């Protein structure tokens, strides 16, 4: 499984960070980025919830 944020879509609302701070963090440009190297099942569940709540569908999980 691979988690990515599409930087061209992200509007920097920080919702994913508040929902799943072990995977997402805001970078210096105010855009979310994936910070996790290893993703546990629990982290993946949170990341999937964040993806489902992202207002611009910028989170891609493959």
Binding site for ligand SF4 (CB under 6 A): 5, 10-16, 32, 54-56, 58-59
Comparison of 11 and 35: residue with beta carbon closer to ligand SF4 = 11
Q: How many CB atoms lie within 10 A of CB 54?
A: 22
DSSP 12: -
Token pair of 52, please? 């489902």
Comparison of 46 and 58: residue with beta carbon closer to ligand SF4 = 58
Token pair of 18, please? 């508040």
The minimum distance between CB 54 and ligand SF4, in angstroms, equals 3
The minimum distance between CB 1 and ligand SF4, in angstroms, equals 17
**Residue 27 belongs to what H/E stretch?**
none
């Amino acid at each position: 499984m691979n988690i990515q944020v599409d930087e061209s879509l992200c509007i920097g609302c920080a919702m994913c960070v508040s929902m799943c701070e072990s995977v997402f963090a805001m970078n210096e440009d105010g855009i979310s980025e994936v910070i996790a190297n290893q993703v546990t099942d629990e982290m993946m569940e949170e990341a999937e919830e964040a993806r489902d709540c992202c207002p611009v569908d910028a989170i891609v999980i493959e």
